[in-house]
Amino acid sequence: MTDKIRTLTGITTTGTPHLGNYVGAIRPAIEASRRDDVESFYFLADYHALIKCEDPARIAQSRLEIAATWLALGLDTDRAFFYRQSDIPEIPELTWLLTCVTAKGLLNRAHAYKAAVDRNLADNEDGDAGVSAGLFMYPVLMAADILIFNALRVPVGRDQVQHIEMARDIGQRFNHLYGDAYRAVTKSKDDPFVLPEAVTDDNVATLPGLDGRKMSKSYNNTIPLWLPAKEMKKAILGIVTDSRAPGEAKDPEGSNLFAIYQAFASPAETSAMRQAFADGIAWGEAKQRLFERLEAELGDARERYETLIARPDEIEDRLLAGAAKARERSAPLLAALRETVGLGSVRALSVARMADSAADSAQESPPQWKRYRESDGKFYFRLVDGQGETLLQSGGFDDPQQVGAIIGELGSLGSQATGLSGDRFSSPHFQQVGDIARIHQALVALNRLDEEKKAKKAAKQP
């Protein structure tokens, strides 16, 4: 467990990053990931992308470009979790577990689904015409993205707040239905899921595009983030301005160019540009200043980006490493959830029951080692529980010192009592190993012997 605030952000992989993405999402997210009180999860939402895009090449390229973008801009993957959604198999499995507790009426109220239905009805079509189950189930998949890591805070735009509220509803429903079962499985006092909170920041910059509307791929007015310098300058020259001539004062508050400059400039630089507007700076000169400011912030990062894009295997390695790191969190939770809803293995259930039985009997009397010599002249040993039942039976040894050595080795397994591997008991030294539940029972006994040995040693110390 950690005292850090766990945050999670998804990036849909359907397009090429542009200046608006950088200012509004990527830059503040990377800055937040450097805080010592925050544990950050960032993922490429490529399952979500399939809902919006049916072009495999576009999705594949977008995954590569977005991953390279975050890495080039300085995301420290040693501090943050950075992975692809599709590399975490626990997410789709959790999606189904959540689907089974989610009311259809809740999904009927999702904004995106309702908007699609309203458009169809307005066109005299069936309400669900062209609506995929993916679009309808989008909120459940998003809930799984968040709940699988029990993220507390999810930074989103206002159009996504409803989805976070739905994730809370879904998580709360699961907690209500399965909370007691989960606590029985995990031996904890916690609910399965932390209920997430939407985080919106009205101070996050929203850049205007080339035509003055919000910079968006849907408006086709974006400035791609990684344009070569020459093409970047050409794009900036295309920003729409008014007809005021050089020497004529210009209004910074109504200027798209000034808004973009301010998003990249320091307060001192912004103040100087504001004064230049008042003094009647020519639009061409203002655009040159914007170009120079963008180059100062993004020039070196562009070189890193181009290097990464030319090395897709390196990006793949970073993403797979990030997925492995993330699954250290998601896999144990999903395993516990499987047990919670009754999908655990029969073997695991048998192990749990026999371990509990062994623990109960151990309260009566401790396990013991029994050493003896048979009529064949060989030396043997066995481990018995508190009721005298044999847990482990050795084969024969010519030298009694071998018996002592192996008992000592087995004693060191006491600290591994939760392991379920029978490999350590499969050598010819043992006549019978028994099933995995019996091995677990033996390990529980070894653990108790190890704890008693440590307690006696500690009692003898002054």
Of 326, 348, 322, 325, the residue nearest 335 (C-alpha):
348
* pLDDT (tens digit per residue) in 248-291: 999 998 899 999 999 999 999 999 999 999 999 999 999 999 99
The pLDDT value given to residue 441: 60
Tokens of 197: 């909170």
Buried b (16+ CB within 10 A) or exposed e, 104-136: eeebeebebbeebbeebeeeeeeeeeebeeebb
pLDDT at 68 > cutoff 60:
yes
Contact 196, 168 (CB under 8 A): yes
pLDDT at 434 > cutoff 50:
no
Quickly state the pLDDT bin for 435 (edges 50, 70, 90). Answer: very low
Q: How far is CA 343 from the centre of its chain?
A: 23
Domains of the chain: 5-204+311-341 (3.40.50.620), 226-300 (1.10.240.10), 347-455 (no CATH)
* pLDDT (tens digit per residue) in 152-182: 999 988 888 999 999 999 999 999 999 999 9
Average per-residue pLDDT for the chain: 85
pTM beyond 0.75, yes or no: no
* pLDDT (tens digit per residue) in 207-260: 888 888 888 887 888 899 999 999 999 999 999 888 899 999 999 988 999 999
| β-pairing verdict for 379-384 and 368-373 | antiparallel
The pLDDT value given to residue 145: 97
Of 337, 263, 234, the residue nearest 22 (C-alpha):
263
Contact 99, 173 (CB under 8 A): no
The pLDDT value given to residue 445: 64
C-alpha torsion 376→380→386→390, nearest 10: -70
Q: Is 423 exposed, middle or buried (0-12, 13-18, 19+ CB in 10 A)?
A: exposed
The pLDDT value given to residue 424: 47
Rounded to an integer, the average pLDDT of 419-442 is: 47
